[in-house]
Amino acid sequence: MPSPIARRAAMLLGMIVLLLLTGCGEKRPPLSPRGQASQLGADVMRGRQLIADYGCVACHTIEGVKGPVSRVGPPLKDMALRAYVGGVLPNTPENLVRWLLDPPAVDPRTAMPDMGMSVADAKDIAAYLLTLH
């Protein structure tokens, strides 16, 4: 009959194996879309201009776009390295476009308004933001 210490060690080993096995299975998408901006088929430089046109810099500091120093919304530096968009959606190119199209529909508690942008504009802006890393 195994000693109590041996039984505990065996139980602990079994739990570790079980935890390792739960990590196996379906491949999950990366938490950040670094290098995936091209999936949008968008115009990065047009996106940069649209950020200025929509006045995004009134609330956000955005690398490469001139504007006032603002602290209303978070700075969008390193957007391509973030795990989440708006703190609620996994950061994928498609989710960033979804967020840009209608932030309150995604998170009713957000202060970011629906800017009424077109899908093409949202894709271009997302493509630019996803170059920031």
- pLDDT one digit per residue (tens) for the chain, 133 residues: 678 787 787 777 777 766 566 655 555 555 555 566 667 789 999 999 999 999 999 999 999 999 888 889 999 988 988 999 999 999 999 999 999 999 999 999 999 999 999 999 999 999 999 988 8
Number of domains making up the chain: 1
Residue 18 lies in a domain: no
- Return the pLDDT at 12: 77
| Structural domain that includes position 80 | 37-129
Residue 107 lies in a domain: yes
pTM > 0.85: yes or no: no
Residue 16 lies in a domain: no
Residue 79 lies in a domain: yes
**Domain CATH number, residue 64:** 2.60.40.420
Among residues 64, 68, 53, 62, the alpha carbon closest in space to that of 118 is found at 53
The rounded distance, in Å, linking the Cα atoms of 2 and 32 is: 48
The rounded distance, in Å, linking the Cα atoms of 38 and 115 is: 24
Residue 5 lies in a domain: no
Residue 118 lies in a domain: yes
Residues 6+ apart with CB under 8 A from 94: none
Residue 96 lies in a domain: yes
Tokens 């959606």, residue located: 89
The rounded distance, in Å, linking the Cα atoms of 86 and 113 is: 12
Residue 60 lies in a domain: yes
- Return the pLDDT at 39: 73
